Amino acid sequence: MVGGGDGAFIGGVHRIALRLDGHYELVAGCFSSKYDNSKETGRKLGLSEERIYETYQEMAEKESRLSDGIDVVSIVTPNHLHVPVAKIFAEKGINIICDKPLALSSIEANSLKDIVENKKLIFALTHNYTGYPMVRHARSLIKNGDLGSLRVIQAEYPQDWLTTKAEDTGLKQAEWRTDPKRSGGGGCIGDIGTHAFNLIKFITQLELDELSADIHTFVKGRKLDDNAQIMLRFKDGAKGSIWSSQVAVGNENNLKIRVYGESGGLEWRQEDPNYLFYTKYGRPTQKITRGSGNAVKEANDVTRIPPGHPEGYLEGFANIYSDVSKVLFAKINKENYEQSNDCYPTIYDGIEGMKFIETVLESSNNNSKWIRFNYK
């Protein structure tokens, strides 16, 4: 692991996720740019002292030469370090699991893609909501045509934790997320708006044609946006919208998606993730429960416990780690693997996310002009 030292939030989440199904063992790390923090974090995690590294460059170099060196690195740093760290490990032929968003720009993201492709590496991006069982059920419904031709997609992700200028209070998570040098050009839209966009793409598999965006910074003195409203047009004629906000008082992590087709609709909420509501036109709404008999195989494959017991955020991350473990195991053991089974987000999803941020910024800077979405 690179990043995730004492005082970091997401590193602890990843460590729980990678351990949950028993597929991984954490054996090496450079957990902080401050070596004392890295050493103390590694000591608490039970790592051998010689595999707690002062720099990630040293870690990549030494681990790549060990007979029992790491098979995959988990990158859980602030955004500006994702690509620099990933490139070092990729050049050494080490597979990568990286937190999102992928990069500071699509140009930077594409430069990493070239290395990943040339080295034939596994690269996973932890858009963890794609790992929720009911999200995968929703994806299956649409793939099977149960909603008919899609018409309207509404996604939103409101929070309220940046309603005041929390970055001035010493809160580490607020400091780097509102700093363009460490977070990139998108604030709210990069941090959580990309989750909403990725969720739409994962569930519907629709391709975006163009968008019109209005992003705004409500908190005076803040350097990045804290609210975004975006209209979407898809290539098959469907319409959509995304609202993401970190100043919506009363909202914690209220990610929601609604999809409507010519013959049915569905709705899923992250804060109540064990249920998916599906309506066939002219019939009563069905409440589909995670782990129940009416959940599809794709959902049950990533379900661990019986219905009625909460399962969500941490397990979503773990499901991505477990998805990656299958292809990783096949690669290590030189076995055939059917890539069409992959469900985890890849470097291509990361590049698409960066293109999304850049297109949103371009539109908003041009008075919400409709801008064509370029996947390349």
Domains of the chain: 10-121 (3.40.50.720), 132-302+349-365 (3.30.360.10)
- What pTM was estimated for this model as a whole? 0.94
CB crowding 82-111: b at 16 or more within 10 Å, else e: bbbbbbbbbebebbbbbbbbbbbbbebbbe
Give the pLDDT mean for 85-102.
Answer: 97
CB 285 within 8 A of CB 305: no
pLDDT at residue 205 greater than cutoff 80: yes
pLDDT at residue 7 greater than cutoff 90: no
pLDDT at residue 128 greater than cutoff 90: yes
Crossing angle of the two packed helices 133-143 and 194-204, in degrees rounded to 10 = 50
Region class of 327: left (phi > 0), else alpha (psi between -120 and 50), else beta: alpha
pLDDT at residue 342 greater than cutoff 80: no
Residue 338: the pLDDT is: 80
Residue type, 272: D
pLDDT category of residue 337 using cuts at 50, 70 and 90: confident
Residue 376: the pLDDT is: 72
* C-alpha span between 232 and 255 (Å, rounded): 18
Coil/strand/helix, residue 295? coil
Give the pLDDT mean for 95-107.
Answer: 96
Give the pLDDT mean for 234-253.
Answer: 98
pLDDT category of residue 196 using cuts at 50, 70 and 90: very high
Give the pLDDT mean for 23-29.
Answer: 98
pLDDT category of residue 343 using cuts at 50, 70 and 90: confident
pLDDT at residue 35 greater than cutoff 80: yes
pLDDT category of residue 38 using cuts at 50, 70 and 90: very high
Close Cβ partners of 163 (under 8 Å, ≥ 6 residues apart): 219, 246, 247, 249
pLDDT category of residue 188 using cuts at 50, 70 and 90: very high
Residue 339: the pLDDT is: 74
CB 188 within 8 A of CB 225: yes
Give the pLDDT mean for 112-127.
Answer: 97
Give the pLDDT mean for 330-339.
Answer: 88
- Percentage of residues in the chain with pLDDT exceeding 90? 95
4 burial class (0-12, 13-18, 19+ CB within 10 angstroms)? buried
Query: What is the average pLDDT value for the chain, to the nearest integer?
Result: 96
Who wins on pLDDT, 282 or 375? 282
